[in-house]
Amino acid sequence: MELEERARDSADNCIACTSCVAVCPVTKANPDYRGPKLVGPAHNRMHFSDESDYEDSLKLCSNCKNCDITCPNGVSVATLNMLERAKYYKAHPEKHTQADQMLSHNFQMADMLKSIPFGRSCANLGMSIGEAMGMMGAMGIAPQRKSPRFATKYFRELYKEIKQPEGLTKEVLFFPGCFIDVNDPEVGVAFVKVMNANGYKVLMDDRFKCCGSPLVVGGYLDEARSHADSNVAVINEYAAKNIPVIACCTSCSLMLKAEYTELFAQEEMAQAAKNVYDAFEFLTILADQGELKKVQVSSDKKFIYHAPCHLRAQGMGMPAVDLLKEIGVNIDSADAGCCGMSGSYGFHKENYETSMKIGSELFDKINASGAHKVVCDCGTCREQIKHGTNAKTTHPIQVLAKAYEQ
């Protein structure tokens, strides 16, 4: 195995230009964080000096990837941080908090609740009571937050009820990801509608696991590796049959497309990455080939779009907003950087203030925009936006699905 892009080696490319420090939202919001350059590539050279030492402020990195986006030299700063964090927790498993455990393993909880009759309703009720009683705070979860509720039917259950049109010859495999599956299954439903309208049958594969993003951020790298291995095996199986894998969650797609390879440097991961697409990336390719179903909307309802950091990290522009504009949707990008949530980051009690500070620019822009809805590809960004602005939110695939219904 010889991979050119090994995260550890990429530190060697750093020219200490400090651009990453200038764009890191956490460095800006929280002076305790020593910044991507020092904590990532600079420290990477110093670890030899003392195995028992550790950079405490590394816990403040949100893995938002703005450092990677800006780096002119291809340093995988965020991944260096995640690898270092994992090394620390491997040596000090006792340092994991209850919140780390919970927020990184949401998928386990979701599976468990599904197997209990009325499990989900009870859990949601429990959460409301828990939040009211301040139990979340005691567990290390920001008491100001309302945890996303479990859907009464997960997407994997809804999918089975969907009747896809007969005779669709082309197929795609959907990677729903935990948030869409468990908390926001309507996004998945909209995705199936859009794909069907374009002549694709949507497949599901029960072997898919959580992409592992929350595990990586929590420092559970070995578990993430096992998720990566099994997901990659599935993806490559479909790749052999020329069936592309599509995700609607940009953190999932980033994980499958880039982070697996950066973190674990396996050839089959690099291979699998080539067969994974973000939904709008895929639809844009169809559009370029003149194969996308044509539709034109005529409504002057104004939308505002927030581009998730993990979408920007994929280096493909903003396909959703471009495509929606193309079909006549009145939508503009907020262009306000990171929302501050970064997956589970903003749910941690100690990150709450930083998270809200980071999001404030976006919140202000949204509030001032007069838009009736905020469009965003990422589920946890949408949670943050709802929390910071009271605005209504939606996934762009839902906007497109609506347009198709007209």
Partner 1 sequence: MVKDKATVVVVGGGATGVGILRDLSMRGIDALLIEKLDMVNGASSRYHGLLHSGARYAVRDQEAAKECIEENTILRRIGKSCVEAISGMFVQVEGDDPDFVDPWVKGCAESGIKTREMSKEEALRLEPNLSRKLVRAFEVPDGAIDGFRMSWQNVLSAARYGGRYKTYTELIKINVEGGAVKSITVRDNVTKEEYDIECEILVNAAGPWAGKVAQMAGLDCSVSPSKGTLIAFNQRISNRVVNRLRKPSNGDIFVPHGSITILGTSSITIPDPEDTSTSWDEVEELMKTGEGVFEHLRDYRILRVFAGSRPLYVPKGADGGRNASRGFVTLDHEKEDGLKGMMTICGGKFTTYRLMAEKFCDVLAPKLGNTAKCRTAEEDLVPAVSEADKKAARQYFPSYGVNLAATRLGTDKFPEVVKTLKENPETREVLCECENVTMAEVMRIAQEPTSHSVADVRRRTRLGMGTCQGNYCAIRSAAIANKLFKDKLEGCGDSLSDMKNFLQARWKGITPVMAGKTLREAEMTRGMYEVLFNVNGGRR
Residue 121 found at the interface with ligand SF4 (CB under 6 A): no
Contacts 24+ apart (CB under 8 A), 84-91: 84/39, 84/43, 84/44, 84/47, 84/55, 84/58, 85/58, 85/59, 85/61, 85/219, 86/216, 86/219, 86/220, 86/221, 88/54, 88/58, 88/219, 89/218, 89/219, 89/220, 89/221, 90/219, 90/221, 90/222
Among 38, 75, 103, 273, binds ligand SF4 (CB under 6 A): 75
Q: How far is the CB of 194 from partner 1 (least distance, A)?
A: 43
- Cβ distance to ligand SF4 smaller for residue 13 or 152: 13
Residue 311 found at the interface with ligand SF4 (CB under 6 A): no
Cα-based distances in Å from 283 to 95, 286, 355, 393: 44, 5, 32, 21
Q: Which stretch binds partner 1 (CB under 8 A): 54-62, 268-276, 358-366, 387-395?
A: 54-62
Q: Could you tell me the two tokens for 220?
A: 């559970």
Q: How far is the CB of 99 from partner 1 (least distance, A)?
A: 24
Residue 109 found at the interface with partner 1 (CB under 8 A): no
Q: How far is the CB of 367 from partner 1 (least distance, A)?
A: 38
Among 30, 70, 73, 236, binds partner 1 (CB under 8 A): 73
Residue 46 found at the interface with partner 1 (CB under 8 A): yes
Interface positions, 19-38, toward ligand SF4 (CB under 6 A): 19-20, 24, 26, 36-37
Residue 219 found at the interface with partner 1 (CB under 8 A): no
Among 22, 28, 42, 139, binds partner 1 (CB under 8 A): 42
Interface positions, 55-74, toward ligand SF4 (CB under 6 A): 61-67, 70-71, 73
The binder of 47, among partner 1, ligand SF4, none, by C-beta within 5 to 8 A per type, is partner 1
Q: Which stretch binds partner 1 (CB under 8 A): 47-55, 215-223, 306-314, 394-402?
A: 47-55
Residue 70 found at the interface with partner 1 (CB under 8 A): no
- Cβ distance to partner 1 smaller for residue 23 or 254: 23
CA distance 213 to 308: 15
Among 20, 27, 36, 43, binds partner 1 (CB under 8 A): 43
Asked if 1 contacts 268 with a C-beta cutoff of 8 angstroms, the reply is no
**Closest by alpha carbon to 282, among 245, 307, 312?**
245
CA distance 182 to 400: 22
Cα-based distances in Å from 297 to 122, 162, 326, 385, 403: 41, 26, 10, 26, 6
In SS3 terms, 273-318 reads as HCCEEEHHHHHHHHHHCCCCCCCCCCCCCEEEEECCHHHHCCCCCC
The binder of 95, among partner 1, ligand SF4, none, by C-beta within 5 to 8 A per type, is none
CA distance 356 to 351: 9
Residue 44 found at the interface with ligand SF4 (CB under 6 A): no
Q: How far is the CB of 259 from partner 1 (least distance, A)?
A: 21
Q: How far is the CB of 261 from partner 1 (least distance, A)?
A: 17
Cα-based distances in Å from 172 to 23, 228, 314, 323, 405: 36, 20, 20, 20, 21
Among 25, 41, 130, 219, binds partner 1 (CB under 8 A): 41
CA distance 176 to 156: 8
Residues in touch with ligand SF4 (CB under 6 A): 14-20, 24, 26, 36-37, 41, 61-67, 70-71, 73, 75, 77-78, 81
Residues in touch with partner 1 (CB under 8 A): 9, 11-17, 34, 37-38, 41-50, 53-56, 73
